Chains A and B, each alone.
Chain A
Amino acid sequence: MGKETMNVELAVVGGGPAGLAVAAKAASYGVQVTVFDENERPGGQLFKQIHKFFGSKEHQAGIRGHDIGYSLLSQCEEFGVKTMLNTVVWGIEKNMLGIQNNGRTYTIKTKKTIIATGASENPLCFPGWTLSGVMGAGAAQTMMNVHRVQPGQKALMVGSGNVGLIVSYQLLLAGIKVAAIVEALPKIGGYMVHAAKIRRTGVPILTSATICEARGENEVEEAVIASIDEKGNVMEGTQRVLPVDLICIAVGLRPLAELCWMAGCKFMFLPVLGDHVPIHDENMRSTVKDIYVAGDVAGIEEASTAMEEGRLAGIAVAEELGYLGSEEADEKKNLARKRLESLRLGPFGDTRAEAKRKLTESEVNR
């Protein structure tokens, strides 16, 4: 079994919004970038985000996620970013990556590595949760918006954060009925405007409510839902049976940080950012030399912040590698930080901003 070695100046692990933004940015200053992604197409979650993005003009607000994805891809192409798809990065140690592509193993020597591996959906366990038809809201979104397959005919959405609300809306757009959205907390988690557009179609949003059971022979045929008290206990007599063939779970995401753990990065436990998050400084640099993080792996937010973190990391890496003077780099990094800051304002962002400050101000960065 021959082991081949390749040299890469900047390796980006993960070709989602953060990874592509890093790649396009760093390559635009002349860095030789290779993006590794285990999927057959690049873009991560961007190509299933068919809604118009929030934010300002500089965040590409009002443009649909997949169109932002196409423009990132064309920037990557323009600046000569190499992509290795269907490629799993299975190991990392200092400036070395172990990858597998098409059954072959390679060793990649890098000067800098960016880990932009994103997040995975949290599961929810209840009787019947392994039945066919119970899936993450993200999986339903992939089926509808990428593969153009209806994941069911009638759905129950569990969770009312922005993912739950947006995917419910997209289920309706795909011609799938939504029987209800249930939320364990007394209030919805996502934006009111997202809830409002779903409510205009009459879909009920039930708060202080949960799923008790999925029933069916081989696949979901029914969902049992019920009200819960403040302690989360099901209130007897409130159970309802909904005839659905699809149950979507949208109860949060957590960073896919295995490579960061493997590399020896230091972590901080920050529930508001999804779980244990790799500590990074203001340049998105982790606690391990030459390893940077960007996007959801560095704390669960959304695609706009992921792209801005990616740009910030891309500038920082270009500077470190000598492609950008420190004065010019500082100016550009500050602009990126300002754009990030603006996305973390308001009641939905300030707890994230606070958690991010804890990361960047952590002593272990010094």
Chain B
Amino acid sequence: MKDRLKSTPGAWVISREILEASPGYPSKEELKRKPVIVIECPEEIPCDPCETICPRGAIVVGEPITNLPRIDQDKCNACGLCIPICPGLAIFLVDNTYSEKEATVSFPYEYYPLPKEGDEVNAVNREGEIACKAKVLKVRDPKSHDHTSVITIVIPKEYSNQVRGIELQQKVDKNE
């Protein structure tokens, strides 16, 4: 049997530790308590549309523009406007309060075809591995998003910290 090509460990990976230590990442307590915006942007790159678009001033980059985005979870009402504007597709919304056993994860998605609301799909983690089954709750693709759709999926709560997308809906050959 052919073994699958694997990424070189450490080559690209945004480790959980790096992410959780970055100022755009909510605390464990916040993740439990309310729907939260999760910013996975751990490198100092010159970019601040997340700050500009936030109507509540909850995301601050400031000067210099290479500061990592900080988020004030008390000001943030998880409206999600920052998700489709982020050029790095690095902003997510995690809601662990969705139901007793389920959470929702919202993420940016630019592939076609889009999934449909109600579809059963495979949720994937940051490495593109299938983590669990998911149900598509919402697909938002208004003109203002400029072709970056925001998909919301329902998943078992224990996966909410690792699921960041879904398997591509186009046919992909999985044997390689």
Contact = CB atoms under 8 A, between A and B. Distances in A.
Interface of A: 51-57, 61-64, 67, 154, 160, 172-173, 175, 177, 179-180, 183, 186-188, 191-197, 199-209, 240, 242-243, 342-349
A56 B146 contact: no
Interface of B: 4-8, 11-14, 40-49, 52-53, 64-66, 85-90, 110-112, 124-129, 146-148, 164-165, 168, 170, 172-173, 176
Contacts of B90: 193, 196-197
Contacts of B7: 199, 204-206
A2 to B, nearest CB: 50
Closest 9 A/B residue pairs (Cβ): A202-B128, A193-B88, A346-B66, A207-B11, A346-B44, A62-B49, A195-B12, A52-B87, A54-B47
Contacts of B46: 54-56, 342-346, 349
Contacts of B53: 62
A180 B7 CA distance: 9
Contact of A56 (B6, B12, B48): B48
A349 B112 CA distance: 34
Contact of A188 (B6, B12, B65, B89): B12
Contact of B8 (A52, A193, A208, A344): A208
B8 A207 contact: yes
B14 A192 contact: yes
Contacts, number: 154
A177 B173 contact: yes
Nearest to B164: A200
B82 to A, nearest CB: 10
B128 A199 contact: yes
24 contacts: A52-B146, A57-B48, A57-B49, A61-B49, A61-B52, A62-B52, A62-B53, A62-B85, A67-B146, A160-B12, A177-B172, A191-B43, A191-B45, A192-B12, A192-B42, A193-B45, A196-B14, A196-B89, A196-B90, A199-B12, A201-B165, A342-B65, A346-B64, A346-B66
Nearest to B43: A192
B126 A206 contact: no
B110 A64 contact: no
Contacts of A57: 48-49, 52
Contacts of A194: 88
A186 B164 CA distance: 26
Contacts of B52: 56-57, 61-62
B89 A197 contact: yes
Given A175-B170, A179-B176, A347-B44, A187 B126 contact: no
A257 B106 CA distance: 46
B41 A193 contact: yes
A197 B14 CA distance: 11
